[in-house]
Structure formats: C-alpha cells, structure tokens
A and B are shown apart, each in its own frame.
Chain A
Amino acid sequence: MFQQKSDTIAAVATAQGRGGVGVVRISGSGIAAVANAVLGKLPVPRHATFGDFLDENGEAIDQGIALYFPGPHSYTGEDVLELQGHGGTAILHLLLQRCLSLNVRLAEPGEFTRRAFLNDKIDLAQAESVADLIEATTTEAARSAMRSLHGEFSAIIHTLVDELITLRMLVEAMLDFPEEDIEVVDTTLRDQLLHNIQIKLQQTLLSAKQGSLLREGAHIALVGRPNVGKSSLLNRLSGEEVALVSDVPGTTRDVIRQAIQIRGVPLHIMDTAGLRSSEDEVENMGMARTHQTLQRADLILLLLDGSAGLSVKDEEILASFPADIPHLLVYNKADLLGEKNLALRSDAISISAKTGTGIEELRERMLKLIGWQNQESGAFIARERHLKALNLAQSHLINATEVLNHPELFAEELRLTQHELNCITGKFTADNLLGEIFSRFCIGK
C-alpha cells in the first residue's frame, strides 16, 4: 500500500513561538535509524515513551515523550515518529537540526498531508480540508474544516452517491435487460428515490455554501456620500468581535477593503475609491470602475442619511445597481429622527451608528442576504470546486425530473449527476453498476 522507498522528512509540527509543548514530526522509511540515534531505541508502537532526546555526543538536548506509529497505520501511511519536547524555539530548533543530520530532510509545506493523500490515507476532499484547517481564519471556519477532515463531508457525499446508484441501477436494469422478468421499475419507487436524492443534495449544497461563506467570506460594497457615517457604521458592525482576518490582497486597485466578521463569517467591505475622491461622488456613480466593484459584490449597502430621506439621485443610483445582486438601503442617524418613524421600503432598514440602534437587525439582514443560514453546526468547509460540482449535480438532477418519460435521457442526466459527485470523492465505474444489478436481479435469459 504505502510507499516503501520514500525519503524521510521532518518538521516542527507545532506553531512558531513559545509554547508549553513543541513537537517534531518525522515521517518516512528512515524512522528506525532516527529513533536509534535520538532515543537509543525504537519505541513500542503507539505507546507514549518518556526519555531523553540525545545529540550526536549522547548528551540530552531535551526530555520528552516519543510516539512511534509504524506504517501504514499512521497519519501519512508511512512510519511516523513524533518527539514531544519543551516548546522553546531554540530547543525545538536543536532537536530538528539533530534529526536533519540523520539523513532526513526538512519537509515542504503540506508534505505530510500530501503523503497521506498519495498513500490513500485520506481522500482529496479530506486532504483539502487539512489545508483549510491550517488556513482557517476564524474559529468557526476552523471547526467546520475539522468536520470535513473527519470525513463528514465525504461521508455525506458517499451516502448521496449510494442512493443515486440505487436509482441508476433500477434505470439501467430496465434499459439493459428488457427481456428479463425482473420487477418492472416501479415509478413510485423511482420518484421517491429521486425526491430523496434531491432533498439530500439540496441540504448538502446549503451546508457546503455555509462552509464556503465561512472560508471565503462575502464581499460587501458600501456605497454612500461622505458624512452619512460609513466609518462609524463599520466600527459598529465589527463591534467587539475582533477581525482575525487579514486583508485579502486587493483584486482591484480601486477598492479599499476592510475586513470585519459577523458571527464568524468574514466580510470584506469594499468602498469605492471613486466615491471617496470626489465631493460630488454620487454624480460619479455611473463610472465604469464603480460598477465593476458593484458587480463583484455579494451584497450592496447603500448608506443614506435618514434625516434627508431618499432623493431622486439616490433613486437613480439604486436603479443602476446590478439587478442580480441583493442590496439593502440603510438609513443612518435614526437617533436624530426622534419618534418620527420612516415609512420603510421592504429593502430598507433604519439604524443609528452612533447609538447602536438597529445594528443587530442590520447584521441579521446582511447575513441573510448573503445566504448565511445561521446553522454553523452543519457547515462544511467546501471549496469552490465542491460547490461547482454540487451545483452542476443539482442542475442535472433537475433536468432528470424533466425527462422522466425518456428513460435513456433520464439515465444520462443521472450519469452526469454522479459524474459531478465523483469529482468530489472518487470514481465509480459501469462495472460497479452492473455488479449492483446482478446482485439484485436474477439476470439470465
């Protein structure tokens, strides 16, 4: 199974800096030599062994626990040795250097995971989630990545694929064995299976979208004249929640971005340079680059002075927003209005950045408008790749329902649905499908 001839790699597995415990992880075929040199023996597999970590003169560099996982039952699928010592940078560095002097090379970034993937210890979706876990910028995203790593995402896709196979088996058996006295495919069963799959896929897609939001965040375009209170709104929105996200490198020069997060969802606020540079910025709304910014947004916030109401020019701006992107009119300075209530349109909200009135409701509505379901518990970290595949799978499934009376076309749409899902988890061949048919039906004219 696993690679016998792999070279041996090592790296500090814990984070940089001072910490209580520091771990050096070593993986490859040279583990025995490393263990003999550093520990004086090969530790009992999967047992915590306390002892000295020795340098080339037999002097102790550090004291700690050694863990030995012989392949293939290890993270990478190869022999793995973990040396858990004290977490000082200098000590860890010495220990790593000691290992590297023993015909071991420094691991490249992600190399342990890559080896795990190449040795079929984890599938592609899992491998990607490890990278996500390391990259995750918010705690919610980290938790969601953890779930994907545990194969929950893969497991859900697998269940989905299993049900799809059952349905395909029925359809293919009907097409390939019309002469057999197999039970005629019962359309009720077919419709029921199809319905179940559709619902499951829909749920998976929702969860995956949540995961994608957690990972990628959403882009919010903030439009408004100066003095309507953009910066105070931003401060209010981010509130106590400290944005862990670093600024995403700007994809356009024209946009000033600020990253905040609401309930763990990273939000990239885009302010248009054009709107900032000109006093008469609203007049410039038709500018092409401003439009480009708006096109990239997942949500447009039009911040207005609540005491002034919606002007004709504001209406024009509103009309120029891309129709397929949700927007929200935010009337600020509600505190100045006193008891005077605004007759609000359904796409508007009244707040006060100064007092905080309406901010919680604004957060809710923003999250809702970008598609956040407030169900972080079910979210999976999904990559663009997964979302794309799931979306395509769903559209093929919808097509399938439209060609129920053309079994060969129905079968084709189901094949394509599965083809997309296979892109996430791995392959399933026609021969597997035939195997299912033969195990279920007595074929044999």
Chain B
Amino acid sequence: MKFSEVFDVIVVGGGHAGTEAALASARSGCKTLLLSHNIETLGQMSCNPSIGGIGKGHLVKEVDALGGAMAHATDIGGIQFRILNSSKGYAVRATRAQADRMLYKQAIRTMLENQPNLWLFQQAVDDLLVEQDKVVGVVTQLGLRFSAKTVVLTAGTFLAGLIHVGQANYQAGRAGDPPSLSLAHRLRELQLPVGRLKTGTPPRIDGRTIDYSVLQEQPGDDPVPVFSFMGNAAQHPKQMPCWITETSERTHEIIRGGLDRSPLFTGVIEGVGPRYCPSIEDKITRFAGKTSHQIFLEPEGLTTHEIYPNGISTSLPFDVQVELVRSIKGLENAHILRPGYAIEYDYFNPCGLKSSLESKAIKGLFFAGQINGTTGYEEAAAQGLLAGLNASLQVREMDAWCPRRDEAYMGVMVDDLITQGVIEPYRMFTSRAEYRLQLREDNADIRLTEIGRQLGIVDDVRWQAFEKKRESIALEQQRLRSTWVNPRSLPAEDAQRVLGKNIEREYSLHELLLRPDVNYASLMTLTGAGVAVEDEKVSEQVEIQAKYQGYIDRQHEEIKGSLKNEALQLPDNLDYREVRGLSTEAGQKLNLHKPETIGQAARISGITPASISLLLVHLKRGFKDSKATT
C-alpha cells in the first residue's frame, strides 16, 4: 500500500539521532515523519545512563543552543549532575549527568508527541525508494510505501546487529530488540562504503544485592548544575549519588581464565572496538601491569534498583561474568539482572558523506548517528540535529548549514568524520578541537543560537531569552570599558585586596579584569566600580570573555589565515587521477573522499602538503591543460 501523504522529511530510527533530526526538521516547519520499529523505545538510553562529559557535554550544549531536546530531557530526568574539570579553565569544563532512564525517555516522548508538524509511526523500515540516484521514500516491513523529498537514516547499531555473550551469538539490534536485516542488506546493495564496528556493555546489577557500606560515595555538585540554557534546577527530580569501587587481582585472574572463551580474543568478533572504551578483558590484557581498575556504580533511575557498573563492559561467557562481578569489593553477593554483551554492527564510512551529512551518492539521503561510526548519545544527537536541519533546508531550497571547525564541536566532528573516515567508533574529545578556547560549553548559545534562529529551528521563547542575555552582556562590557579607576580616588586598601598592588595610572574596569588574578566579583567590590549585574550567567560571560580575549583574538588570526584554503572549492567531477604529478595513492584517496574544499582535502590522512600544492597548481591551471599533458 502506498501512503497517500508525501512528507518533506522522513526520519528512520527513534534513538538520540533520530529524535533530534525529527524535532529539528519539524521545528523548521517541514512536514516530518518519524518511523521507529517500536514507539515505546523512542529516546531510549541503550548503554550507560549518563549524558555529557568532556567534549560530549559541549555537544549537548550546542544541540540545546539550536533548540534541540537532549539538554532539556536531561534536566527533567537527571538524578546526579556534576561539572567535570571544575578546577580547570572554563574551556575544558563540561557538564555530566546521570539520568533516570524512564524519566529521560518520557521527556523525549512528550516533546515528540507535542511537536507540531511531526508524525510518529511504528513500523520497521525494510527498504529505501531510490530513483535516479535520488531518494524518494521508504518501504516498511508491512510493505507500506511512504513518499518523501528527503530521508534521514539513523539506524544506530541495528544494521545487521550481532550480539555476543561468550561463544554464543545471535542477531539483534540491542538487547531485547530485533536487528534491521533487510535494510542492511538493501544498503549494502546500494554500494555505499560499509564497515563493521563493535561496542559493548557491562552486566547490570540488582542494587539490593550491593554492599554500599564498603564503597566510596560520589555525590553530585552543590549547587546542582543545569544542562539547558533554558533550564533551571527546579526541574530536576530527586538527586542520587554514584558509588566507586574497583577490580582486584582476583578479578583479573578470573578474566584471564576465561579468555579462551572470549569472542573478542578468539577472533569471533571482527568489528573494531573503541580504544577509549575497552572491555574489561581488553584492559587487563593491554595494561597487564595495572593491578586494579576503577568502576563507577551508576543508578539507572529513581524507580529501579538496577545499577550500571561503568568500567566492566564485557562479552565473556555468562559464568565468567558472574564470577568476575562477585570478585569486586561490595559486589560479593551481587545478582546480575542482565548479562553484559558485545554487539557488532554495520556502519557507513562517513567519508562517503558531504559536510551536510548528505550522501554523496544518493541525493536527499542523510545519515546520522552510530550508523556513521560514532559512539555516544551526544555525538548521535548532534549529528541528528544537523542532518534533520539540512534535510529540511534542502526541502526549503536553502543552502545546507555546515558549521566550521572553529564554530562548533559539531563542525569538528563532521569534518573529522568525512575527512578521516572511521576505523574505530568515534567519540568527541576536547583535544580534537584546535579552537578549544572558543568552543566552550558556556558560550554555545552565543556561538549558535542566532544561526539557529535564522535557520528557523529556534523558537520565540528561546530567542527572546537569548537576545536579552546577549544585550546584558554587551551593556555590562560597555560599562566596564567606560568606567575608570584612578590612583588618587582608589583607596589603597581596595587596590591591595583586589589587585594585590596599587595602580600607577588610570585603568578601566575592563583592563583590570584582564589581569589573571582578578575576577568579576572581586572587581565589583572596588570603590567606584558601580553596581554589578545580577544575572550570574551574564557576569560569568563578561568574565570569561575577558580572560580568554587575548587567546581568542590570536585564534581568530589563525582562522583567518586558514579560511582561504578552507573556502577554496574543489569541483565534485574532478578526477584526481588526472592531476599532474599526484601519486596514484593520493589520487585514489581523493577520488574516494571527493573532498568539497582544499581544507578538507588537506585533512585527509595520507594527503601530504606536496599533494595539496599539486592540487592548487591544478586548480590554477584549469582542467584543459592537465588533460592535454597527461
């Protein structure tokens, strides 16, 4: 049967990428259909029950600044909030929250159901409808045909998913859910670059069988942080602590004893797992000298006893899992609620994508989330929002929005994905960002909300709140620049207390704030400093911007220098084998990636500065000459 209505955007998959994609598209006014094999699992956290962290929290704030759902749902569902790196500078501080799975999922569901222009439908997608290299719709399990102008695929780990527990394995999308086999098959037929990755989860534990009395408690921060720029602490439910324990030598012996039945070490698992999130068997093998590994016991929610032991992801046989868990302090009598497992799944090498996340091969088809080889809810959500937005922009006949590396972590991520491709699951870290000092959590709204507004995905409420904040910041900065303190009128006691020494000439408050040891609050206690702004978010911005000003100015210079190459477009019909002097290997690589700009080409691994000079020479010469001479 053919569904009579034609949608602007169809989103396949209802995980973190799919929900952000569907919401962004619908917010922009596009008629959007979200197809999921099970509406009950929309917004499900299938791995650990936490959101954010270093690099990841930055992504969540960016999604939020563009009107996305993740930060809001975390504020509603978060049962422990912390600011990581709080003792270090603002640029590397990041928010992390434990979330109650049920509350989080419910918050996402509520947003989806109340979003105008968005239709939900429960059906697994089996096939894509493609006409002349353009996607025109999808076919579901029941044979229902839905027509659409664009399709966003967010199939997560469900594509040809294979779960391993010890020597046993079975096909699944995630524990308890079926895999997408037909779709995987169909996508392989489309000759897109497919690869195989692996990820894992730990066994889950019944909290009633844990002896907390011997464990170290890890409470949340006080005052409780808030994730969304629009959120407040009053939205948070009751807060809970996490607990810290560790593996012992005995644990390691048990694991070593079970390695002969490990699918990871016996070669059954072919997919590549992440180096930063290794299984416990991987850890004790690779770091054999380490006698103990830390484990965080994270509550899964307020209404369940289930505990997620972060740090012992494993695919060892179940009997080994039981023994290893019980060798850990506090878990001697633990009951396992669900076995840990490893899952292998298909992904599409993202070097086949444009920076808009649209496939280079099939027009109108966008990919987002784990299907692109990333891990993590946050990475998925950020890509989902971008893909949904860009699908809607294509429908609205507008240019795609592709943030640059200096504008957003989103830009860093997508650029890394499409220029480097993926060989292990990709996770965000702040060290991936050259311009870390300006890509901060605290200024995600200042960087992105105006853009989101122009692109039609930021609503009036958020926009007005943002404009007010931005104006207050500007006003206060102006006031600090025009308020002067002079040596005669400044009491020596004030100068000593706040500045550490007397001033020798007249200074503006702004100049004084630039000093490393001066902060906004102490500055405001100077005689003649006037009245401080009340809104802490505003004073915080004023202070941070002053502190990083010198560095950021310099980064701007660096960015300006690189923009020339960055913006230089490479024609997509360029056959790199024709570029004179280019090595065969470089030619093949460039033909595979088909970079959109010289900047992208330069970041492809194996492309040397020499290759780039040749490309530049080629572009200068024009095509005719090269064809004539080769």
Contacts and interface: CB of A to CB of B under 8 A. Distances in A.
A443 B276 contact: yes
A180 B244 CA distance: 12
A190 to B, nearest CB: 14
B505 interface: no
Contact of A442 (B286, B431, B582): B286
Interface residues of A, number: 40
Interface stretch (A138-146, A207-215, A251-259, A429-437): A429-437
Interface stretch (A11-19, A41-49, A112-120, A327-335): A112-120
Contact of B551 (A5, A176, A412, A426): A412
Contact of A438 (B53, B275, B436): B275
A358 to B, nearest CB: 48
B429 A407 contact: no
Contacts of B581: 3, 6, 118
Interface in A164-200: 172, 175-181
B102 interface: no
Contact of B610 (A117, A415, A435): A117
A106 B583 CA distance: 22
Sorting the interface of chain B by its residue count into under 10, 10 to 19, 20 to 34 or 35 or more gives 35 or more
Given A2-B583, A408-B92, A431-B420, A178 B311 contact: no
Contact of B92 (A6, A175, A433): A175
B436 A408 contact: yes
A176 B583 contact: no
Given A3-B583, A412-B436, A434-B429, A442 B54 contact: no
Contacts of A181: 293-294
B66 to A, nearest CB: 24
Contacts of A172: 431
B415 to A, nearest CB: 11
A444 interface: yes
Interface stretch (B81-89, B150-158, B174-182, B454-462): B81-89
B614 interface: yes
Contacts of B430: 175-176
B431 A434 contact: yes
B555 to A, nearest CB: 8
B23 to A, nearest CB: 29
Contacts of A437: 431
A437 B614 CA distance: 34
A350 B287 CA distance: 70
B278 interface: yes
B549 to A, nearest CB: 12
Nearest to B581: A118
B296 interface: yes
A178 B276 contact: no
A345 interface: no
B136 interface: no
A445 B583 contact: no
Given A175-B88, A175-B430, A408 B277 contact: no
Contacts of B478: none
B437 interface: yes
B283 A175 contact: no
A288 interface: no
Contact of B276 (A118, A124, A406, A444): A444
A1 B586 CA distance: 8
Contact of A444 (B55, B278, B420): B278
A409 interface: yes
B267 to A, nearest CB: 22
Contacts of A445: 294, 296, 310-311
Given A408-B436, A412-B436, A442-B283, A180 B294 contact: yes
Nearest to B412: A430
Given A177-B54, A426-B609, A430-B432, A119 B583 contact: yes
A408 B54 contact: no
A4 interface: yes
B608 interface: yes
A434 B431 CA distance: 8
B91 interface: yes
Contact of B290 (A124, A426, A442): A442
B614 A407 contact: no
A178 B436 CA distance: 16
Contacts of A443: 275-278
Given A3-B581, A181-B293, A444-B311, A426 B608 contact: yes
B517 to A, nearest CB: 11
Interface string A397-438: 000000000111101100100000000001101110111011
Nearest to A127: B610
A408 B432 contact: no
B575 interface: no
Contacts of A433: 431
B91 A408 contact: yes
Contacts of A430: 429, 431-434
Interface string B557-600: 00000000000000000000000011111000000000000000
Contact of A407 (B53, B88, B311): B88
Contacts of B311: 444-445
Contact of A408 (B275, B437, B608): B437
Interface in B435-473: 436-437
B630 interface: yes
B275 to A, nearest CB: 4
A180 B605 CA distance: 29
A178 B608 CA distance: 34
Contacts of B91: 408
A400 to B, nearest CB: 12
A5 B627 CA distance: 13
Given A1-B583, A3-B581, A175 B85 contact: yes
Interface string B64-90: 000000000000000000001100110
Contact of B293 (A178, A438, A442): A442
26 contacts: A1-B585, A2-B583, A3-B583, A5-B630, A175-B85, A175-B430, A175-B431, A176-B431, A178-B88, A407-B89, A408-B88, A408-B436, A409-B437, A411-B431, A411-B436, A429-B603, A430-B431, A430-B432, A433-B431, A442-B286, A442-B293, A443-B275, A443-B277, A444-B276, A444-B293, A445-B310
Complex A-B, nearest 3 residue pairs according to Cβ-Cβ distance, in ascending order: A408-B89, A438-B275, A442-B287
Given A176-B92, A431-B416, 14 more contacts: A3-B583, A5-B630, A117-B610, A176-B429, A178-B85, A178-B88, A180-B294, A409-B437, A426-B608, A427-B609, A431-B420, A442-B286, A444-B277, A445-B296
